[in-house]
């Protein structure tokens, strides 16, 4: 256990150093990601036509802007740019051999490397996040209590773990398929809709309101999938839309998804390694 902890710390420290090598470029790319916030404010202002009392699917204009801001926080934890594509590239060019010939668990290495990436990102982005939320504090209608804040923090941890494990699972499929870029693109599109990144998931079943049976199936399907934990669930918690029994149930289901996805990653990786033929350098 001690050796494992030392190895994890070494991986984390090394990956942080790598991220800081081009810190100016990294910081600029991080700050540019805040520009869409202005677009979101103008977009929802146009949708609601400036009417702050109007409700669409249970959301006022202020609710929607607050939701968009919280989704940005959730996506900062759950997004894993380049992870699946990097795994597929390592499998394709033979780089993955280093994980098979050295006493380093690939999934653990990828985890700590991604933790390092996020830590550097948070250090750079904390200031802009604080400034944005301070300037937009008027869009939040209530102050969350300590239980809600704790649940929100736990939901963000779930968002990170579920996002990481799903991306790894997509990447490990490259053991069976030479090219998975199309699969990654499809996954990203599904993720964008079903995570609540585009609009709250409350809105999507309303598209089928003419067909009540289809609407109920759509609602049940979305509440069972893990995508909602990447953005929608954390935002809904802090907005007060998930409370009491519903909140406890959602967090329990999210924890179950982490366990299930971890087991799936282990299974797919072990099966993939058995059929893997090493090529490249």
Note the pLDDT tens digit of each residue in 232-270.
Answer: 999 999 988 888 888 999 999 999 999 999 999 999 998
**Of 240, 245, 243, residue with least CA distance to 66:** 240
pLDDT at 41 over 90: no
Q: What's the pTM? A: 0.86
8 A C-beta contact, residue 242 and residue 143: no
Q: How far apart are CA 83 and CA 191, in angstroms?
A: 15
% of the chain surpassing 70 pLDDT: 84
List beta partners, residue 202. Answer: none
Q: Could you give the CA distance from residue 227 to residue 188 in angstroms, rounded to a whole number?
A: 11
User: Does residue 167 have a pLDDT over 70?
Assistant: yes
Q: What is the pLDDT of residue 22?
A: 65
Model confidence over 169-220: pLDDT tens digits? 999 998 888 788 888 888 888 888 888 888 888 876 555 555 566 566 666 6
- For the segment 5-33, the average pLDDT, to the nearest whole number, is 70
pLDDT band at 281 (very low <50, low <70, confident <90, very high): very low
Q: Is the dihedral of CA 265, 270, 276, 279 positive or negative?
A: positive
pLDDT value of residue 264: 95
Mean pLDDT value across the chain:
82
Residue whose tokens read 């550097």: 120
């Amino acid at each position: 256990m001690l050796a494992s902890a030392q190895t994890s710390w070494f991986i984390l420290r090394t990956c942080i150093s790598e991220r800081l090598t081009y810190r100016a470029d990294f910081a600029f790319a991080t700050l540019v990601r805040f520009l869409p916030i202005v677009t979101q404010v103008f977009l929802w202002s146009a949708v609601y036509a400036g009417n702050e009392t109007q409700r669409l699917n249970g959301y006022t204009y202020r609710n929607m802007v607050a939701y968009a801001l919280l989704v940005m926080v959730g996506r900062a934890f759950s997004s894993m740019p380049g992870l699946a594509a990097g795994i597929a590239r390592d499998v394709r060019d033979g780089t993955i051999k280093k994980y098979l010939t050295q006493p380093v668990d690939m999934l653990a290495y990828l985890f700590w490397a991604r933790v390092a990436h996020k830590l550097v990102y948070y250090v750079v982005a904390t200031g802009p996040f604080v400034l944005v939320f301070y300037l937009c504090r008027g869009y939040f209608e209530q102050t969350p209590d300590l239980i809600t804040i704790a649940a929100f923090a736990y939901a963000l941890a779930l968002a990170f773990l579920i996002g990481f494990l799903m991306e790894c699972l997509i990447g490990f499929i490259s053991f069976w398929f030479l090219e998975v870029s199309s699969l990654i693109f499809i996954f990203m599109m599904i993720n964008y809709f079903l995570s609540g990144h585009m609009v709250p998931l409350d809105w999507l079943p309303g598209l089928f309101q003419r067909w009540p049976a289809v609407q109920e199936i759509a609602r049940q399907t979305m509440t069972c999938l893990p995508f909602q934990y990447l953005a929608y669930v954390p935002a809904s918690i802090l907005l007060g839309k998930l409370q009491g029994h519903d909140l406890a149930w959602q967090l329990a289901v999210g924890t179950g998804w982490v366990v299930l996805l971890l087991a799936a990653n282990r299974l797919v990786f072990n099966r993939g390694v058995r059929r893997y033929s090493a090529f490249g350098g």
